[in-house]
Amino acid sequence: MADLALTHDININVFTKFLGQQGEFPDVSFAFAYHVTMTNQGDNPLQLRNRYWLITDGNGEQQEVSGAGVIGEEPVIPPSESFSYTSGALLKTPVGTMQGHYEFEANDGTMYKAPIDVFSLALNTAVN
């Protein structure tokens, strides 16, 4: 795949929440929700086409997730408007990180990459 131009027209904010533990020892998973709001700060509508996540748990184990859109949608975000969604991740440890990017398409077919900075997934008590 060719390199995509970076876009600074999309502002991405992520909030996380620990949901609880699932399973029994030794196969316990720690469930986290993440809520993403993406705001189009540019002058043209952009359509979200793809996502890519790199999820790293506290042991350094990594999992990659990619695919079309988010939560089954490929929304068009008009200028000065936002799109929000909530999804989740399971980790083998109570602490981890996520990072990645979204790929957006402009009306003229140009594809852009909007990076998502590293953010933490952690139990409230796990990080001081």
Q: What is the pLDDT of residues 28-79, one digit of tens each?
A: 799 999 999 999 999 999 999 999 999 999 999 999 999 999 999 999 999 9
Q: Please state the pTM of the whole predicted model.
A: 0.88
- Contacting residues for 63 by C-beta, under 8 A, at least 6 apart: 54, 55, 56
Residues 6+ apart with CB under 8 A from 57: 91, 92, 93, 95, 96
CATH architecture of 5-122: Sandwich (2.60)
Dihedral over alpha carbons 40, 44, 45, 46 (to 10 degrees): -70
Average pLDDT, the chain: 91
- Residue 23 has a pLDDT of 77
Give Cβ neighbours of residue 35 (< 8 Å, ≥ 6 apart): 14, 15, 16, 17, 84, 85, 86
More confident residue, 2 or 64: 64
Q: What is the pLDDT of residue 5?
A: 66
For the chain, domain boundaries: 5-122
Q: Residue 125 — pLDDT band, cuts 50, 70, 90? A: low
**Given the DSSP bridges, would you call strands 5-6 and 111-122 parallel, antiparallel or unpaired?**
parallel
pLDDT recorded at residue 1 = 45
